[in-house]
A = this chain, B = another copy of it.
Amino acid sequence: MNSPNIQNTSEQKFWYLRNHKLFSTLSNAEIDDLCIITKHKGAKKGEAIYFGEDLQNRIFLLKKGIIKIVEHNDKGDEVIKDIMQKGDLFGAIGSDDSINKESAVTISSEAIVCSFRISDFENILSKNPDIALQYFKFLGLKLKKIENKYTNLVFKDVRSRLIAFLNDWTAAEGSKVGFDWVVENYLTHQDIAGLICSTRQTVTQLMRDLETEGHIKYDRKEILIHSSLLAKTERPIKS
């Protein structure tokens, strides 16, 4: 989907929201009240879109690009909470207080983002029960996703988590080629490590293992996933 020729910010924001499932039914006036900023980032790869405090009172809608929501600890280690794609909401989802240490970093070469104040968003929700219900579903999904990540982390070892991640990725974005699947690879081993809570070295090692076992094949641009990996979560029996 390419955006039409858009002359100014105002028209852009209408176009952005109208094409989003959650906001498609809103009137011009409502959109005008809600979306007070349309933020464009000709952001370089690796550039942060927002930091701690900004995030407190805003919800963001990613219109274009890929970003990662990350959190760092004191030592500088990074966990990737989530990867956001076109159409995803992020930011202070569902809460409006307390400290948040997350930041959003662009992975793609460009990212375009709209944002709204939480209070404005809540206002829209309370006046549009249908949108509210959809938003409930969205929150439920988010909740389930993170709960799933949590149990994965507890129950599974790194290898299983990597395989589960590859399977999810394939399911979400892969295209079938013969008996295999291809996924465009915009993530480094470092990123993947952050996503499955491991280290770069371990990810590299396991990717190599999976390749020599014949389950995947990869370079820096794409990953080819053999169907033998699908639904495979156990480690091979040791000899």
**A139 CB contact (under 8 Å) in B129, B139, B151, B153:** B139
Q: Is the CB of A153 within 8 A of B150?
A: yes
Q: Is A223 an interface residue (CB 8 A)?
A: no
What chain B residues lie within 8 Å of A135 (beta carbons)?
136
| Bound form: Cα–Cα A127–B79 in Å | 40
**A146 CB contact (under 8 Å) in B73, B130, B146, B155:** B146
Q: Which of A4-12, A93-101, A209-217 contacts B (4 or more CB under 8 A)?
A: A93-101
Interface range on chain A (Cβ under 8 Å from partner): 35 or more
**A129 CB contact (under 8 Å) in B77, B126, B137, B142:** B126
Q: How many copies of the chain does the oligomer comprise?
A: 2
| Proximity bits, A77-102, B CB within 8 Å = 1, else 0 | 10101000000000001111010000
Q: Is A197 an interface residue (CB 8 A)?
A: yes
Q: Is the CB of B126 within 8 A of A94?
A: no
Q: Is the CB of B95 within 8 A of A154?
A: no
What chain B residues lie within 8 Å of A146 (beta carbons)?
143, 146-147, 150
Q: Is the CB of B140 within 8 A of A133?
A: no
Q: Is A125 an interface residue (CB 8 A)?
A: yes
**A126 CB contact (under 8 Å) in B133, B141, B142:** B133
Q: A79-B155, A95-B137 are in contact. List 15 more A-B contacts (CB 8 A).
A: A77-B155, A79-B154, A93-B140, A94-B140, A95-B140, A122-B133, A127-B129, A129-B132, A132-B132, A136-B139, A139-B139, A139-B140, A143-B143, A146-B147, A154-B197
Among all A-B residue pairs, the 4 with the closest Cβ atoms = A94-B140, A95-B140, A126-B129, A73-B155
